Amino acid sequence: MTTTDHAAEQISIEDFQVEAASWLKENAKPKVAEDGPAPEWGEGDFSVSIFHNLEHEQEQNLLDEIASWIQTKSEKGYNAITWPVEHGGRGLSQQHARAYSRLERDYDVPGRHEAISVTMGLMAPTINLFGT
């Protein structure tokens, strides 16, 4: 777990959005509008696939990109906004986390992978809640 240099804080969602938007501008590239047909449900960014079907090297590259982005976000507590500070989060509300997610959608950041989603979305919160 990454050590963070911020204590649990009370910050309004509006102030948090300003801070997060500034951080994203410094750490990620904005998405560029693509020419071509409108996106279709189930394709590209709108894919509903649960599991990837990638060659080993492609999957490893994707996991490496995701891990690097998670590390970058973790250094500021943006990877686990609702988690306690002592576990690398910000100790903020679900509304703060949703606000960050809305901002991040406008940036070209690595996608998701089932291994990360299960680990960060299911296992880690369960251990945080029930672990000793």
The Cα 58–Cα 117 span in angstroms is: 18
User: Token pair for residue 115?
Assistant: 């291994």
Q: Which residue has the tokens 């507590």?
A: 77
In sequence order, the 6+-apart residues with CB closer than 8 A to the CB of 80 are 74, 87, 88, 89, 90, 120, 124
For residue range 54-100, list pLDDT tens digits in order: 899 998 999 999 999 999 999 999 999 998 998 889 999 999 999 99
Report pTM: 0.76
Please state which of the ranges 9-18, 31-40, 65-74, 89-98 shows the lowest mean pLDDT.
31-40
Domain boundaries, the chain: 13-27+52-130
- The CATH T-level fold of domain 13-27+52-130 is Butyryl-Coa Dehydrogenase, subunit A; domain 1 (1.10.540)
